[in-house]
């Protein structure tokens, strides 16, 4: 009898949580999370805490990167980060525009991904030398589309990768070449070792033109 009562209580709690998710408009996000239109699953790498000064020291010791430490910023909505950096280039690959404003842990992961995966995969596919990495931004104080939850962009913990530009002027982008350039899917898979969340065009239409990387609490490689 006690087991039955316990099971009923668990069922009631789950129903209550489902109602809350529907009211807050996040049910669609939960359904999409388990959408099987995905990259072949690969367990993401372990999460890493925002260890502040230690992270800045590791970045400073990393060869071949150009960064600039920024002043901490947190607005009245709670958006921002205590340890922001401007990541401008990695091993001679310029970050489009003036660089990316990221939390230190996100910058460390992104730089590491470029060093160990982007460069190796470009060589594997004999694409030539990369001169520039294009993106669709990082820090943005906003919530996830169709949700009441804050995006990891709001904490500078996310990057939207768009593509690569080569020394000869040619380029490959997620929007134009996802279905024709296998290197792009390999890049997405490889990022799962460094980021907790990797979302590709296989995840949903909102990601048809970029790969989303973040360090949020979810563990998704899609």
Which domains are present in the chain?
Answer: 35-221 (3.30.1380)
The answer on pLDDT for 218 being more than 70 is: yes
> Which of 8-12, 19-23, 123-127, 142-146 has the lowest average pLDDT?
19-23
Q: pLDDT-based confidence at 1, cuts 50/70/90?
A: low
Is there a contact between 213 and 198 (Cβ–Cβ < 8 Å)?
A: yes
Angle between helices 53-61 and 104-113 (to 10 degrees): 30
> Which of 11-20, 77-86, 154-163 has the lowest average pLDDT?
11-20
The pLDDT assigned to 95 comes to 98
CA atoms of 71 and 193, how far apart (whole Å):
29
User: 51 is written with which tokens?
Assistant: 């260890």
Cα of first residue to Cα of last residue in the chain, in angstroms, is 42
Q: What is the mean pLDDT of residues 11-38?
A: 35
Q: Work out the angle at residue 100's Cα, subtended by the Cα atoms of residues 176 and 149, and round it to the nearest 5 degrees.
A: 85
- pTM for the complete prediction? 0.78
CA atoms of 168 and 126, how far apart (whole Å):
13
Is there a contact between 124 and 72 (Cβ–Cβ < 8 Å)?
A: no
* 3-state class (DSSP) for residue 115: helix
Q: Which residue has the higher pLDDT, 194 or 9?
A: 194
């Amino acid at each position: 009898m006690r087991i039955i009562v316990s099971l009923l209580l668990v069922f009631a709690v789950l129903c209550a949580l489902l109602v809350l998710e529907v009211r807050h408009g996040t049910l669609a996000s939960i359904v999409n999370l388990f959408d099987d239109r995905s990259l072949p699953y690969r367990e993401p790498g372990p999460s890493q805490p925002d260890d502040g000064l230690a992270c800045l020291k590791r970045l400073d010791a990393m060869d071949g990167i150009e960064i600039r430490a920024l002043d901490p910023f947190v607005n009245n909505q709670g958006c921002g980060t205590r340890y922001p950096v401007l990541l401008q280039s990695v091993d001679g690959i310029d970050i489009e525009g003036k660089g990316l404003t990221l939390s230190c842990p996100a910058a460390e992961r992104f730089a590491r991904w470029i060093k160990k995966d982007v460069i190796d995969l470009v060589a594997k596919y004999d694409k030539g030398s990369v001169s520039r990495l294009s993106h669709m931004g990082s820090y943005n104080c906003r919530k996830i589309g169709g949700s009441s939850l804050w995006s990891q962009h709001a904490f500078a913990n996310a990057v939207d990768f768009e593509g690569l530009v080569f020394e000869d002027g040619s380029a490959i982008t997620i929007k134009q070449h996802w279905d024709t350039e296998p290197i792009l899917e390999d890049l997405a898979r490889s990022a799962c070792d460094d980021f907790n969340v990797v979302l590709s065009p296989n995840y949903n239409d909102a990601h048809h033109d970029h790969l989303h990387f973040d360090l949020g609490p979810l563990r998704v490689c899609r």
